[in-house]
Amino acid sequence: MASIFQGVGATTALSSSTSIDTKKFQLSSRRFFSVRRASFVVVRSGGDKRDSGSNRIGGRADQLVTNAVATKADTPAASTASKPGHELLLFEALREGLEEEMERDAHVCVIGEDVGHYGGSYKVTKGLADKYGDLRVLDTPIAENSFTGMGIGAAMCGLRPIIEGMNMGFLLLAFNQISNNCGMLHYTSGGQFKIPVVIRGPGGVGRQLGAEHSQRLESYFQSIPGIQMVACSTPYNAKGLMKAAIRSDNPVILFEHVLLYNLKERIPDEEYVLNLEEAEMVRPGEHVTILTYSRMRYHVMQAAKTLVNKGYDPEVIDIRSLKPFDLYTIGNSIKKTHRVLIVEECMRTGGIGASLTAAITENFHDYLDAPIVCLSSQDVPTPYAGTLEEWTVVQPPQIVAAVEQLCR
């Protein structure tokens, strides 16, 4: 199922650098691929129109999240919700997506530490073990390498496991399984086996959790061929991406953030699945393209408020898909604004921003009026002290300063 939506995303990208009449191509191909069912909606986040100046995206542009670590966001529902939905927190949205998929397909199961009886260390799987039993929501011993391997083996044999790392950093122990077996098996077996696993867990810098519990693994995993990586940032996209990831026949790593689990948002009642390879237009603008993902989205939106007051009009895109990049959306934005700022939580060296900078330079060099600025976390282990920890990650004042510098 998800491949139809991926097909939509992929086919429309065909027109990224060549054809001029992209909108026409995009709509016609979507008609070809779209599948309509009674209670089922294909959602392309950010709505149809990507043209400049169009502020039709649900009024989001004017409602900025002011709190950097948004615990309570009052953003209205996303583009397609015509009737009011229901409000919930991000971890509940993840759970809802998970539960709907487990209901839909009996092969979907969850494997992880403390996911069953305990309900998940961040309550994402709460109540599921009571409903589906101990075998479908499997509590494992502390053995990341082997239970990740187990999940992959089960996927080879037809199941669709969701492997939870209690903290993304623990999955470093399973790197061999994720890289060699998960990413490469489809290729080395000549297409015989598919590995429809979802590897998910919270990562990122939290509240003084210490160096080893504040890791950003997206930079380590990004070179592994054969996997897809997505990062969720709002309850709406968390649920959509979770469902898309489960339905995908490819291995998907879903990066959540420890500090975003309590974000509240109103999401649609009807079922929806998001496109795994698509970026989200958070705030359209004219002057500069700010690319970000996960928690830094909120820092950027906070900085955007300041910037708007100062007279700038930043376009904020939540890239969501970390592998592969949605160069279609990003490219269109760059062609409009000609300036790029990347704000990420990864380390400076070898991070997602570094790859994105390279990809943009390679493809859109002629459209840039200024060098790409990339704000990332410092190349240090995350310190425990609160003040120091604050300065390892990018803060809104730095974003404001960078935009001012860029737009001079």
DSSP secondary structure code for residue 382 in this structure: P
Applying CB under 8 A, among 167, 219, 234, 250 the residue interacting with another protein is 250
* Smallest separation (angstroms) from another protein to the CB of 155: 7
The CA distance from 295 to 271, in Å, is: 25
* Smallest separation (angstroms) from another protein to the CB of 395: 31
User: Do residues 291 and 340 lie in contact, with contact meaning Cβ atoms separated by under 8 Å?
Assistant: yes
Question: What are the structure tokens assigned to 87, written together?
Answer: 């409000």
Question: With respect to another protein, which residue has the nearer C-beta, 135 or 385?
Answer: 135
* Smallest separation (angstroms) from another protein to the CB of 153: 2
* Smallest separation (angstroms) from another protein to the CB of 364: 10
CA triple 153-156-159, angle to 5 deg: 90
CA triple 364-30-289, angle to 5 deg: 30
The CA distance from 169 to 203, in Å, is: 7
The CA distance from 14 to 3, in Å, is: 16
Name residues contacting another protein, limited to 133-192 (CB under 8 A). 135-136, 138, 140-141, 143, 145-159, 176-177, 180-181, 185-192
Name residues contacting another protein, limited to 195-214 (CB under 8 A). none
Question: With respect to another protein, which residue has the nearer C-beta, 122 or 147?
Answer: 147
Binding mask 73-112 for another protein (x = CB under 8 A): ------------------------------------x---
Q: Is 3 in the site for another protein (CB under 8 A)?
A: yes
Question: With respect to another protein, which residue has the nearer C-beta, 79 or 222?
Answer: 222
Give 273's contacts (C-beta < 8 A, 6+ positions apart). 1, 2, 5, 42, 43, 240, 243, 244, 247
**Catalytic status, residue 113:** no
Q: Is 225 in the site for another protein (CB under 8 A)?
A: yes
Q: Is 16 in the site for another protein (CB under 8 A)?
A: yes
Strands 321-323 and 228-231, by their bridges, are: antiparallel
Applying CB under 8 A, among 362, 385, 387, 408 the residue interacting with another protein is 362
Question: With respect to another protein, which residue has the nearer C-beta, 148 or 302?
Answer: 148
* Smallest separation (angstroms) from another protein to the CB of 397: 33
Of the candidates 142, 168, 75, 150, the residue with the CA atom closest to the CA atom of residue 109? 150
Strands (E) across 105-251 are located at 108-112, 137-139, 160-164, 198-203, 228-231
User: Do residues 320 and 294 lie in contact, with contact meaning Cβ atoms separated by under 8 Å?
Assistant: no
Question: With respect to another protein, which residue has the nearer C-beta, 113 or 256?
Answer: 113
Question: With respect to another protein, which residue has the nearer C-beta, 3 or 66?
Answer: 3
Of 113, 164, 186, 213, the catalytic one is 213
Q: Count other Cβ atoms within 10 Å, centred on residue 263.
A: 27
Question: With respect to another protein, which residue has the nearer C-beta, 46 or 204?
Answer: 46
**Catalytic status, residue 315:** no
- Phi, psi of 196, rounded to the nearest 5 degrees: -80, 55
Task: Kindly state the helix (H) or strand (E) to which residue 89 belongs, with its residue range.
Answer: strand 86-89
Q: Is 33 in the site for another protein (CB under 8 A)?
A: yes
Of 92, 113, 144, 315, the catalytic one is 144
User: Which stretch, 52-60, 113-121, 224-232, 236-244, contacts another protein (CB under 8 A)?
Assistant: 224-232
The CA distance from 30 to 12, in Å, is: 8
Of the candidates 353, 328, 161, the residue with the CA atom closest to the CA atom of residue 252? 161
Q: Is 28 in the site for another protein (CB under 8 A)?
A: no
Q: Is 118 in the site for another protein (CB under 8 A)?
A: no
Q: Which residues are catalytic?
A: 144, 213
Name the residues that contact another protein, by CB under 8 A. Answer: 3-4, 6-7, 10-11, 13-14, 16-17, 33, 109, 135-136, 138, 140-141, 143, 145-159, 176-177, 180-181, 185-194, 225-226, 228, 249-250, 323-328, 359, 362-363
